[in-house]
Structure 1
Amino acid sequence: MPTAASQATAPVLAVDQGTSGTKALVICPERGVIGSGFAPVRPRYGPGGRVEADPAELLSSVVDAGRAALADAGEPAGAVGLANQGETVLAWDPDTGKPLTDAIVWQDRRAESVCAELAESAEALRDLTGLPLDPYFAAPKMAWIRRTLTREGVVTTSDAWLTHRLTGAYVTDAATAGRTQLLDLDRVEWSRQALEIFGLDDERLPRVVDAAGPVGTTNAFGPELPLTGLLVDQQAALLAQRVTEPGTAKCTYGTGAFLLAQTGEVPRRGGSGLVSCVAWRLAGRTNYCLDGQVYTAASAVRWLTDLGVISGAADLDPVGSSVPDSGGVTFVPALAGLAAPWWRGDLRGSLTGLGLDTTAGHLVRALCDGIAAQVVALADAVADDLGEPLTALRVDGGLTRSALLMQTQADLLQRPVEVSALPDATALGVGAVARLGLDARLSLPDTIPAWRPAAVYEPRIPADRAADRLGEFRAAVAALTASASRTAS
Structure 2
Amino acid sequence: MTGPVLAVDQGTSGTKALVVCPERGVIGSGTAPVRPRHLPGGRVEADPGELLGSVLLAGRAALAEAGEPVAAVGLANQGETVLAWDPRTGTPLTDAIVWQDRRSEELCTELAPHAEALREWTGLPLDPYFAAPKMAWIRRHLTREGVVTTSDAWLVNQLTGAFVTDAATAGRTQLLDLDGVNWSPEALDVYGLADERLPRVVDVAGEVGTTGAFGRAVPLTGLIVDQQAALLAQDVTEPGGAKCTYGTGAFLLAQTGSRPRRGRSGLVSCVAWRLGGRTSYCLDGQVYTAASAVRWLTDLGVISGASDLDPVGTSVPDTGGVTFVPALAGLAAPWWRGDLRGSVTGLGLDTTAGHLVRALCEGIAAQVVELADAAAADLGTPLTSLRVDGGLTRSALLMQTQADLLQLPVEVSALPDVTALGVGALARIGLDPRLSPKEAVPVWTPAAVYEPRVPAAEAATRMGVFRAAVDALPGRAR
From 279, 283, 305, the counterpart of 1:312: 305
Instruction: Name the counterpart of 1:3.
Output: none
Task: Indicate if the aligned counterparts of 1:122 and 1:132 stay in contact, CA closer than 8 A.
Answer: yes
Deviation at residue 210 of structure 1 after TM alignment: 0.2
Instruction: Name the counterpart of 2:475.
Output: 484
Task: Indicate if the aligned counterparts of 1:9 and 1:30 stay in contact, CA closer than 8 A.
Answer: no
Mapping of residues 169-248 of structure 1, within 5 Å: 169-248=162-241
Q: Tell me, in whole angstroms, the C-alpha distance in 2 between the residues paired with 1:221 and 1:348.
A: 43
Q: Tell me, in whole angstroms, the C-alpha distance in 1 between the residues paired with 2:367 and 2:435.
A: 38
Q: Tell me, in whole angstroms, the C-alpha distance in 2 between the residues paired with 1:445 and 1:369.
A: 34
Gaps of 5+ in 2: none
Gaps of 5+ in 1: 1-7
Q: In the alignment, does 2:414 pair up with 1:426?
A: no
Number of aligned residues: 478
Instruction: Name the counterpart of 2:153.
Output: 160
Deviation at residue 32 of structure 1 after TM alignment: 0.5
Q: Tell me, in whole angstroms, the C-alpha distance in 1 between the residues paired with 2:472 and 2:369.
A: 19
Aligned amino acid, residue 262 of structure 1: Q
Instruction: Name the counterpart of 2:98.
Output: 105
Q: Secondary structure of 2:472's partner?
A: helix
Q: In the alignment, does 2:438 pair up with 1:445?
A: yes
Q: In the TM superposition, what whole-angstrom CA distance separates every residue of 1:283-318 from its partner, at most 9, and x where no partner exists?
A: 000000000000000000000000000000000000
- TM-score, normalised to structure 2, is 0.99
Task: Indicate if the aligned counterparts of 1:125 and 1:194 stay in contact, CA closer than 8 A.
Answer: yes
Q: Secondary structure of 1:318's partner?
A: helix
Q: Tell me, in whole angstroms, the C-alpha distance in 1 between the residues paired with 2:418 and 2:234.
A: 7
Q: Tell me, in whole angstroms, the C-alpha distance in 1 between the residues paired with 2:252 and 2:454.
A: 23
Deviation at residue 443 of structure 1 after TM alignment: 1.9
Instruction: Name the counterpart of 1:5.
Output: none
Deviation at residue 440 of structure 1 after TM alignment: 2.1
From 217, 224, 249, the counterpart of 1:256: 249
Deviation at residue 446 of structure 1 after TM alignment: 1.1
From 128, 134, 137, the counterpart of 1:141: 134
Q: Tell me, in whole angstroms, the C-alpha distance in 1 between the residues paired with 2:465 and 2:300.
A: 25
Q: In the TM superposition, what whole-angstrom CA distance separates every residue of 1:121-165 from its partner, at most 9, and x where no partner exists?
A: 000000000000000000000001111111110000000000000
Q: Tell me, in whole angstroms, the C-alpha distance in 2 between the residues paired with 1:328 and 1:416.
A: 26
Q: Secondary structure of 1:27's partner?
A: strand
From 355, 358, 362, the counterpart of 2:348: 355
From 293, 300, 315, the counterpart of 1:300: 293
Superposed structure 1 runs of 4+ greater than 3 Å apart:
none
Deviation at residue 52 of structure 1 after TM alignment: 0.4
Q: Secondary structure of 1:351's partner?
A: strand
Q: Tell me, in whole angstroms, the C-alpha distance in 2 between the residues paired with 1:9 and 1:431.
A: 11
Q: Secondary structure of 2:252's partner?
A: strand
Q: Tell me, in whole angstroms, the C-alpha distance in 2 between the residues paired with 1:202 and 1:48.
A: 30
Mapping of residues 366-381 of structure 1, within 5 Å: 366-381=359-374
Instruction: Name the counterpart of 2:389.
Output: 396
Q: In the alignment, does 2:279 pair up with 1:289?
A: no
Task: Indicate if the aligned counterparts of 2:232 and 2:437 stay in contact, CA closer than 8 A.
Answer: no
CA RMSD between the two structures: 0.9
Instruction: Name the counterpart of 1:127.
Output: 120
Aligned amino acid, residue 339 of structure 1: A
Deviation at residue 347 of structure 1 after TM alignment: 0.3
Instruction: Name the counterpart of 1:29.
Output: 22
Identity across aligned pairs (percent)? 82
Task: Indicate if the aligned counterparts of 2:341 and 2:475 stay in contact, CA closer than 8 A.
Answer: no
Instruction: Name the counterpart of 1:4.
Output: none
Task: Indicate if the aligned counterparts of 1:85 and 1:106 stay in contact, CA closer than 8 A.
Answer: yes
Q: Tell me, in whole angstroms, the C-alpha distance in 2 between the residues paired with 1:390 and 1:163.
A: 36
Aligned amino acid, residue 298 of structure 1: A
Aligned amino acid, residue 62 of structure 1: V
Q: Tell me, in whole angstroms, the C-alpha distance in 2 between the residues paired with 1:348 and 1:441.
A: 49
Instruction: Name the counterpart of 1:471.
Output: 464
Aligned amino acid, residue 201 of structure 2: V
Instruction: Name the counterpart of 1:410.
Output: 403
Q: Tell me, in whole angstroms, the C-alpha distance in 1 between the residues paired with 2:215 and 2:56.
A: 10
Q: Tell me, in whole angstroms, the C-alpha distance in 2 between the residues paired with 1:261 and 1:416.
A: 16
Task: Indicate if the aligned counterparts of 2:2 and 2:428 stay in contact, CA closer than 8 A.
Answer: no
Aligned amino acid, residue 75 of structure 1: E
Q: Tell me, in whole angstroms, the C-alpha distance in 1 between the residues paired with 2:136 and 2:217.
A: 36
Task: Indicate if the aligned counterparts of 2:2 and 2:432 stay in contact, CA closer than 8 A.
Answer: no
Deviation at residue 26 of structure 1 after TM alignment: 0.4
Q: Tell me, in whole angstroms, the C-alpha distance in 2 between the residues paired with 1:442 and 1:412.
A: 39
Task: Indicate if the aligned counterparts of 2:327 and 2:343 stay in contact, CA closer than 8 A.
Answer: yes
Q: Tell me, in whole angstroms, the C-alpha distance in 1 between the residues paired with 2:450 and 2:397.
A: 10
Q: Tell me, in whole angstroms, the C-alpha distance in 2 between the residues paired with 1:355 and 1:233.
A: 41
Deviation at residue 484 of structure 1 after TM alignment: 3.4
Instruction: Name the counterpart of 2:81.
Output: 88
Deviation at residue 194 of structure 1 after TM alignment: 0.1
Q: In the alignment, does 2:60 pair up with 1:67?
A: yes
Task: Indicate if the aligned counterparts of 1:79 and 1:227 stay in contact, CA closer than 8 A.
Answer: yes
Q: In the alignment, does 2:270 pair up with 1:277?
A: yes
Deviation at residue 270 of structure 1 after TM alignment: 1.4
Q: Tell me, in whole angstroms, the C-alpha distance in 2 between the residues paired with 1:274 and 1:372.
A: 17
Instruction: Name the counterpart of 1:331.
Output: 324
Task: Indicate if the aligned counterparts of 1:25 and 1:37 stay in contact, CA closer than 8 A.
Answer: yes
